[in-house]
Amino acid sequence: MGNNRKKLEIIRDKIKNDLKPKFFEHLQHLESNIESLSEQNHLHRDLCEAIKNAREELTAKLVKVENWFYRQETKFEDFVLSDYIKMVLESTAKYVPDIDWELQGDLTSAQILIRSEFSASMFDLLSIIFSNMLEYSRKEPLHQFILHTAVIDNDIMHFHFENELPENANEDELNQLFEEKEQAINLLQKEGGSGLVKAMNIIKYDFNNIQNSFKIEATAGKCFIDILFNLKNMIKYAEDTIGGGL
């Protein structure tokens, strides 16, 4: 068993220290090459947005692949949401270099057991959000991210995320971009999408309730994300978890 663990560590190390730098180096090189198009505003913005989405998607996929190589007793397990949140943030932070971070907020309401079939989609949702928060936040010595959770009307989970925006962030442009993302999900429905569009799709379709909602807004120097999703068919033991913790 010890030998197997060592092999898994080697694989995870290869993903983190060999694959990751090569992929991100190519994206950085591409970013540098398109600077010559900066005067063509719309084209340059679209290309930068595509690269940003690729970076977010790549981060999420690398984190997921790395986590395949942890030895588990069972392939799919039910999971405590509060623990899962912390695990995904720690995993995602590995792929954003030279950053010190701290998670603040109240996760008490997230001490609930979620069914195993939602593990992959919850992982994707959280890794997309956290990669955005880590990559596009104010560059301070310590990055402070806030996440509050609450259960509303007994079966609606509310996630409230917030982080400081970079000092040069244009909130009007960001909010226009967020609005375009929301319109994109109406066009795409279940098909396609990456980055925030994929996160919006997960909330409505992977979580099996189109009434679930995802709202993102830039204001007062911060980015706020509010997610509401129905827990009714997601929790393992409704009578033991909602409202009372484990």
pLDDT per residue as tens digits for the range 228-245 = 999 998 998 544 444 443
Mean pLDDT of 221-232: 94
Where are the domains positioned within the chain? 1-71, 75-246
Here the contacts of 65-71 (C-beta below 8 Å, separation 24 or greater) are 65/15, 66/12, 66/15, 66/16, 66/91, 66/94, 67/91, 67/123, 69/8, 69/11, 69/12, 69/15, 70/8, 70/12, 71/4, 71/5, 71/8
Of 150, 77, 80, 71, the closest CA to residue 109 belongs to 150
State the Cα–Cα distance between residues 28 and 5, nearest whole angstrom. Answer: 33
State the Cα–Cα distance between residues 117 and 189, nearest whole angstrom. Answer: 21
* pTM greater than 0.85 (yes/no): no
- Tell me: the pLDDT tens digits for 118-176? 988 899 899 889 888 887 777 667 777 899 999 999 899 999 999 888 888 899 988 98
Q: How far is CA 21 from the centre of its chain?
A: 20
Is the pLDDT score of 110 beyond 90? yes
Which CATH superfamily includes the segment(s) 75-246?
Answer: Histidine kinase-like ATPase, C-terminal domain (3.30.565.10)
Of 128, 157, 156, 142, the closest CA to residue 216 belongs to 128
Is the pLDDT score of 96 beyond 80? no
Count CA within 13 A, CB hemisphere, residue 189.
0
